Amino acid sequence: MKLTIIGTGYVGLVTGTCFAEVGHQVICVDNDAAKVKLLKGGGIPIYEPGLEELVKKNAAAGRLSFTESTMEGVQKSDVVFIAVPTPPQSDGSVDLSFIERVARDIAMAMTEYKVIVDKSTVPVKTGDKVAETIRRYCKAKVDFDVVSNPEFLREGFAVGDLMQPDRIVIGVRGQRPVAALIEIYEPFKAPIIVTDINSAELIKHAANSFLALKISYINAIAAICEAAGANVQEVAHGIGLDERIGRRFLNAGIGFGGSCFPKDLSAFIKIAEQIGYDFKLLKEVQIINADQMDRFVKKITDTLWVLKDKTIGVLGLAFKQNTDDIRSSPAIDLCQRLLKEGAKLRVHDPKAMEKAKAVLPNVTYVDDMNAVPDGCDALVIATEWEEFKKLDLDRAHKSLAHPIMFDGRNLFDPAEMEKRGWIYKSIGR
């Protein structure tokens, strides 16, 4: 099918590329001229495992192209996907100005029936507003359908998540656009749920909020484990084997972050408030998440006492492994807190250092993770990169002023670290 994706962020670029990979003809539209130039030249603006190779492959095959022109994208395609940002506002609600602007641009470009698919994460009833906007600005007065098709991509695993999805959700007002969406997704061989558009919009916020709740739950359990002398990993394993619960998202750490969970949680609380429900449960999830970082910083200050003029090594800047995304990253938050206390930082991340330089200008960036501990008073693990498990512990032990590690991601075994002579502080163990 002929498809257009408006927006080439994580969702738009991965979606468009994977659609092209299964044989669709895809135009990706972005109003950022520099980004479009980069993509046309074979580069990509984000790090996502496996994505760059697929972009180059499908662009070379002629199935994937890039343009700044919404007019071109709309007029050359049967189905138009909206995948633009929906950033949070100061009160927790969602800024829908990008969605509204794109809806107007689509409307003014339409000359025949189109299916308009909202893939951005939006509050319930946004589909109604998109439809109203298109009707208002479409001079040709042609027919169209607005569909909600939320994404469930995990950064760092997005290509695999799209190529082998758990489910595909399609929210519609009527049956006319359903056949087109089923045809688009047929190559992915996944269960397709067709529902009303309001339910589809709620599914995304409800899913992300539940996962955030699950993370905060295990972090609360971690605090109890520390007080009781238990091991949160053993507790998580024991409860995770219950198929009603499952083991995923039960890894204690320094809290969730990224561009989705904090934003979607705040948005869902605000959405509920606007329709008359006080979502106290999700407010507590936010509190637990904030408390988790407070507890971790207290571990550091309790052990090192005065942080002023101490040098601390930090491994990890991205909000999670396998991405260069530092938006709402707990690791960045931690670094900023340590800097505020007067500490000096030596930091390393496999992919996120260039982006981090814009928000952490006054730290020392180290290319080799094994060189980070050199001359430091302590070492902190802030992101769960697999390569950090291969850290040369013997070298680190010798190069630190004191063999102190604060493991915010529970990458190492406490008994083994103690045997090696480390002062080792982790989460819930």
Residue 251, phi then psi, degrees to nearest 5: -105, 115
Q: Is the pLDDT of residue 220 over 90?
A: yes
The two structure tokens encoding residue 310: 């101490």
Residue for token pair 């180059």: 56
The rounded distance, in Å, linking the Cα atoms of 217 and 211 is 10
Q: Is the pLDDT of residue 252 over 90?
A: yes
The rounded distance, in Å, linking the Cα atoms of 301 and 305 is 5
Q: Is the pLDDT of residue 259 over 90?
A: no
Q: Of 178, 177, 94, which is closest to residue 129 (Cα–Cα)?
A: 94
Instruction: Give the angle subtended at the CA of 331 by the CAs of 326 and 332, to the nearest 5°.
Output: 60
5-64 pLDDT, tens per residue?
A: 999 999 999 999 999 999 999 999 999 999 999 999 989 999 999 999 999 999 999 999
Q: Which of 225, 260, 335, 376 is catalytic?
A: 260
Q: What is the DSSP string of 272-330?
A: HHHTT---HHHHHHHHHHHHHHHHHHHHHHHHHS--TT-EEEEE--SSSTT----TT-H
Global confidence as pTM? 0.92
Q: Is the pLDDT of residue 391 over 90?
A: yes
Residue for token pair 């996944």: 190
The rounded distance, in Å, linking the Cα atoms of 418 and 425 is 10
The rounded distance, in Å, linking the Cα atoms of 389 and 316 is 12
Q: Enumerate residues 6+ apart whose C-beta is below 8 A from 69.
A: 29
296-321 pLDDT, tens per residue?
A: 999 999 999 999 999 999 999 999 99
CB 352 within 8 A of CB 323: yes
The rounded distance, in Å, linking the Cα atoms of 370 and 366 is 9
Residue 260 catalytic? yes
How many Cα atoms are found within 13 Å in the side-chain-facing hemisphere of 88? 19
The rounded distance, in Å, linking the Cα atoms of 4 and 179 is 17
What's the mean pLDDT when you consider all of the chain? 96
